[in-house]
Chain A
Amino acid sequence: MIEEEGISTISMGNEPERMARIKPPRALQVKFGRGSMFGEPGNVSRQRRILLDAFDALQTITEPGEIRKLPYQWKRPDRPDMTDYQ
């Protein structure tokens, strides 16, 4: 609904199946668990890096529906599962 109003969006995601259903216009896919799309708490440089990646994707994705995968790994023992619905 936001793009239909003339505003570009970029979406975060971590589950390919869910992203395929939602069909975001442009998206970044991360390897982090549910509730932590920008990585570990307190990892300022990682959070900043992912935002910069989002701005890059915004400027370089030209086809609707492209999902760009980011390589970053969770670096603590407390990574949540991808789908830990409670």
Chain B
Amino acid sequence: MPIDLEQFKTAYEKWVEESMSDFQAGKMVEILKKYPSIIPGDIPWMPYTGKPSEQTFALITSAGLYLKDSQPAFDTLSIHGDPSIREIPKDVQQEEIGIVHGHYDHSLVEQDINIIFPIHRLMELENDGIIGKTADTHYSCSYVNNVAPLATEAVPKMISGIKAEEVDVVLLVPV
């Protein structure tokens, strides 16, 4: 069932209006309690078939990862968050990764990105023949409240990339 974005947009505009003063005061828990979450009526379901050893895997995280030298950081100042997505190549190294997400402690991920984006473990599992292939491109978003542009712009672009690489399975890792 497609998500009802029009209903979300109306509720979201009201939430922004009512939450701005709490947001500016840094009361994140308070504003999240009132956030108009999109709760799916039906659980989307694609039955799994095949064998991991013959398939291609991709990672998507909301940890706010980006490539420090070639990509812009995420916006952490707006109440809307940042509805864009960064592409992270499979051969990325720890030192190439920047982390911008205003609402969790990054210090552990700065030690080891694999605790939220286990790209190096996937590569090892590919080398061991446990999975068929690690996709060439993986994805990160960051903190986002205005999910409408995420759903209408960034996610469709990401899905096009995933399909172009013939990815069979996506591992979703929120923070």
Contact = CB atoms under 8 A, between A and B. Distances in A.
Most buried by B among A2, A24, A26: A2
Interface in B98-152: 102-106, 108-109, 111-112, 114-116, 118, 121-122, 124-125, 130-131, 151
A36 B171 contact: no
Do most interface residues of chain B lie in helix, strand or loop, or is the interface mixed? loop
A1 B167 contact: no
Interface in A57-86: 58-59, 61-62, 64-65, 78, 80, 83-86
Contacts, number: 152
Interface in A37-66: 37-42, 44, 47-48, 50-52, 54-55, 58-59, 61-62, 64-65
B25 interface: no
Interface of B: 2-3, 28-29, 32, 37, 39-40, 42-48, 52, 63, 102-106, 108-109, 111-112, 114-116, 118, 121-122, 124-125, 130-131, 151, 155, 159, 162-163, 167-175
